[in-house]
């Protein structure tokens, strides 16, 4: 079982920038991309069918068809994705959209475009760690992409060390 990260972004250059800035996770986390909500839903089906866990979704707000906020709200009611960490990555959400994302989608983070690559990687590491904590997964197989200090505290508390 692998942790999975889904990037939902309709603009190819932005998807490529996110993938580039998150490349250090790719060897340890399944990194998937989608340019619209129907494709994202297909990717979630594939992740689920493979026995992997969707740990983190990073969604743009402005997308063709269904918005990123509406997609994230849908994830908040899907049994498979209740624990999935949700991040809105956008430069165009207005205050009302952001409030809906926080209240209805249980948004975990908001990242403004343009982002700082180091801060983005730190946020992803934190969110993956939080997913492991909340779901009770064994952190050791995922240690390379987690906050090592927090993960090792979990292991010590469980008595595995």
Given this model, what pLDDT does residue 32 score? 97
Q: For the ranges 51-55, 56-60, 119-123, 136-140, which has the lowest average pLDDT?
A: 136-140
Q: Write the pLDDT tens digit of every residue in 6-35.
A: 999 999 999 999 999 999 999 999 999 999
| SS3 at position 158 | helix
Cα separation values, 115 from 32, 44, 48, 122, 151, Å: 20, 25, 30, 12, 26
Quick one: average pLDDT of 119-124? 96
Nearest in space to 131 (alpha carbons), one of 76, 75, 81: 81
- What is the crossing angle of helices 117-135 and 12-21, to 10°? 70
Cα separation values, 71 from 9, 37, 39, 128, 158, Å: 12, 7, 11, 20, 35
The partner residues of 7 in beta bridges, in order of sequence, read: 33, 58
Quick one: average pLDDT of 38-49? 96
Whole-model pTM: value is 0.89
């Amino acid at each position: 079982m692998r942790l999975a990260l889904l990037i939902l972004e309709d603009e190819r250059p932005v998807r490529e920038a996110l993938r580039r800035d998150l490349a250090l996770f790719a060897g340890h986390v399944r990194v998937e991309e989608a340019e619209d909500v129907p494709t994202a839903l297909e990717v979630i089906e594939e992740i689920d069918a493979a026995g992997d866990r969707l740990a983190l979704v990073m969604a743009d707000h402005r997308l063709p068809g269904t918005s990123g906020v509406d997609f994230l709200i849908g994830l908040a009611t899907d049994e498979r994705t209740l624990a999935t960490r949700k991040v809105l990555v956008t430069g165009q959400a207005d205050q009302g959209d952001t409030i809906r994302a926080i209240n209805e989608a249980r948004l975990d983070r908001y990242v403004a475009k343009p982002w700082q690559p180091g801060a983005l990687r730190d946020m992803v590491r934190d969110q993956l760690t939080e997913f492991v904590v909340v779901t009770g997964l064994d952190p050791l197989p995922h240690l390379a992409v987690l906050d090592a200090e927090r993960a090792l505290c979990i292991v010590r508390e469980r008595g595995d060390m």
